A and B are shown apart, each in its own frame.
Chain A
Amino acid sequence: MTERIYLLPLWIRLWHWSNALLIITLSVTGFSLHFADPKLPLVEFSLAARLHQVAGIALVALYAFFVVANLVTGNWWQYIPKPPGIIERCWVQAKWYMFGIFRGEPHPYRVSEETNFNALQALSYWFIMYMVMPLMLLSGLLFLFPEFAPDRVFGFDGLLPVAVVHYLTGAVIVMFMIAHIYLGTTGTTATSMFKTMINGWHEHVGPEESRHGDRRHADRRGS
Chain B
Amino acid sequence: MFSTWCQRIFGALLVAGLCGAPVHAGSDSPIDSETLAKNRKANEVCFACHSPAGIAKPPRADLDMSKLADSRVEPEIFNKADHGVMDCRQCHSSKHYGAEYPHGAAGKTETSPCNECHAAKQLRLEPQFNASVHAKVEGVKEKFTCNTCHNVHVNVLALRLKDPAKIVEQDNHGCLACHNSDATFARFAPASDKMPGQKKARPDIDTIHEWLPNTKAHWKAVRCVECHTPEVAAGKMLSHEILNKEKAEKKCLTCHSADSSLKTRLYRHMVKDEQQRLGFTNSVILSNSYVIGATRHPELDRIVIGFIVLTLAGVLGHGAVRFIAALRRRKNGEKQ
A binds B: yes
Q: Residues of A with Cβ closer than 8 Å to B?
A: 33-38, 45-46, 49-50, 53, 97, 101-104, 146, 155-157, 159-160, 162-164, 167-168, 171, 174-175, 178-179, 182, 185-186
Given contacts A102-B321, A104-B329, contact A38 B257 (CB under 8 A): yes
Interchain CB contact (< 8 A) of A155 among B253, B287, B295, B322 = B287
Contact B292 A33 (CB under 8 A): yes
CB-CB contacts of B284-326 with A at 8 A, as 1s and 0s?
0011111011011000110010011001101100110110011
B101 on interface, CB distance cutoff 8 Å: no
Contact A36 B292 (CB under 8 A): yes
Q: Name the A residues within 8 Å of B308 (CB-CB).
A: 171, 174-175, 178
Contact A157 B292 (CB under 8 A): no
B256 on interface, CB distance cutoff 8 Å: yes
Interchain CB contact (< 8 A) of A45 among B293, B312, B314 = B293
Q: Which chain A residue has the least Cβ–Cβ distance from B310?
A: A175
The majority secondary structure among interface residues of chain B is: helix
Contact B287 A156 (CB under 8 A): yes
Interchain CB contact (< 8 A) of B257 among A37, A102, A104, A163 = A37
Interchain CB contact (< 8 A) of A157 among B256, B290, B314, B318 = B290
Given contacts A36-B256, A37-B258, contact A163 B325 (CB under 8 A): no
Chain A proximity of B164: nearest CB distance (Å) = 10
Q: Which chain B residue has the least Cβ–Cβ distance from A37?
A: B257
- Within B108-165, the residues touching A (CB, 8 Å) are none
Interchain CB contact (< 8 A) of B304 among A38, A160, A168 = A168
Provide 11 A-B residue pairs closer than 8 Å at the C-beta atoms, listed in order of the A residue.
A33-B256, A34-B293, A35-B301, A36-B293, A37-B258, A97-B318, A103-B329, A104-B326, A157-B287, A168-B304, A171-B308
Given A49-B213, A163-B290, A175-B311, 11 extra CB contacts under 8 A: A33-B256, A34-B293, A36-B257, A38-B257, A53-B213, A101-B322, A102-B321, A103-B325, A156-B287, A157-B290, A185-B319
Q: Which chain A residue has the least Cβ–Cβ distance from B304?
A: A171
The majority secondary structure among interface residues of chain A is: helix
Chain B contact residue count (CB 8 A cutoff): 36
Contact A46 B213 (CB under 8 A): yes
- Within B42-91, the residues touching A (CB, 8 Å) are none
Chain A proximity of B285: nearest CB distance (Å) = 9
Contact A45 B253 (CB under 8 A): yes
Chain A proximity of B220: nearest CB distance (Å) = 10
Given contacts A36-B252, A104-B329, A159-B290, contact A146 B217 (CB under 8 A): yes
Contact A46 B252 (CB under 8 A): yes
Contact B311 A37 (CB under 8 A): no
Q: Which chain B residue has the least Cβ–Cβ distance from A44?
A: B252
Chain A proximity of B217: nearest CB distance (Å) = 6
Interchain CB contact (< 8 A) of B307 among A162, A175, A185 = A175
Chain B proximity of A180: nearest CB distance (Å) = 10
Q: Name the A residues within 8 Å of B277 (CB-CB).
A: 156
Contact A178 B315 (CB under 8 A): yes
Give complex CA distance A104, B333 in Å.
Answer: 12
Give complex CA distance A156, B297 in Å.
Answer: 14
Give complex CA distance A186, B319 in Å.
Answer: 9
Q: Name the A residues within 8 Å of B301 (CB-CB).
A: 34-35
Contact B288 A157 (CB under 8 A): yes
Q: Name the A residues within 8 Å of B307 (CB-CB).
A: 171, 175
